[in-house]
Amino acid sequence: MLKLWKWYQNCLAVHPVKTQMISSGVIWGFGDIAAQSITHYTAKKYRQIKVEEKELKINWKRVTTTSLFGFAFVGPVGHFWYESLDRFIRSRLLLRPNSLRFVGAKVALDGIIFGPLDLLVFFSYMGFASGKSVPQIKEDLKRDFVPALILEGGIWPIVQVGNFRFVPVRYQLLYVNFFCLLDSCFLSWLEQQEDAPWKQRLISLLSGKEKKDKGG
């Protein structure tokens, strides 16, 4: 394990962007395999699956598509995002590194900018990759974006507090990628759920709250 870590450090030092791209692609691919397994198991458990489809058959085209998202977007964009974010807060906001305000600013900017952008690109990319039209993708975004943003919004800030407080900048994407194994699984599962009732209830709950606020 120590040799593997040293090998990774060497790759990161020599080819930082390529290393981030490859590791992100592999992790997101594994995440999609896990998502397909969970979706199959859930459908089988609640008898929402045909008899001839009881055996799990991995959709390798979908795995490749999801892996390419990690490779082409999460890896390079994440690498430059974390470096630029740290540099911006140090030089422009002049906050002391690892201070409460420094970590808080990082978490806030990451949640406001990168989080929604990541979801928007993911769902749009998966839609185009599966051959959907622009109107269909817009409908999918209306269906999936808000539930994903709400559910992830309660988890990622906690994850990122530890990341921005204790992890050196060059390893922050690696730290995130470990959690992305679960996140890619979640997003792939969420996208596969299509018009699940719980999504509609979540969106309706949010819409009802907004109406109530406007009325009050």
List, for residues 106-141, the tens digit of each pLDDT value: 999 999 999 999 999 999 999 999 899 999 999 989
Q: What are phi and psi of 67, to 5 degrees?
A: -60, -40
Query: Model-level pTM?
Result: 0.80
As given in the structure block, the two tokens for residue 194 are 């299509």
Q: What is the pLDDT of residues 172-194, one digit of tens each?
A: 998 988 887 777 677 766 766 66
As given in the structure block, the two tokens for residue 37 are 């397994």
* Size of the chain in residues: 216
Helices and strands, number each (H, E), in the chain: 10, 0
Neighbours of 109 (CB within 10 A): 16
Which residues, in sequence order, are CB contacts of 193 under 8 Å at separation 6+?
39, 199
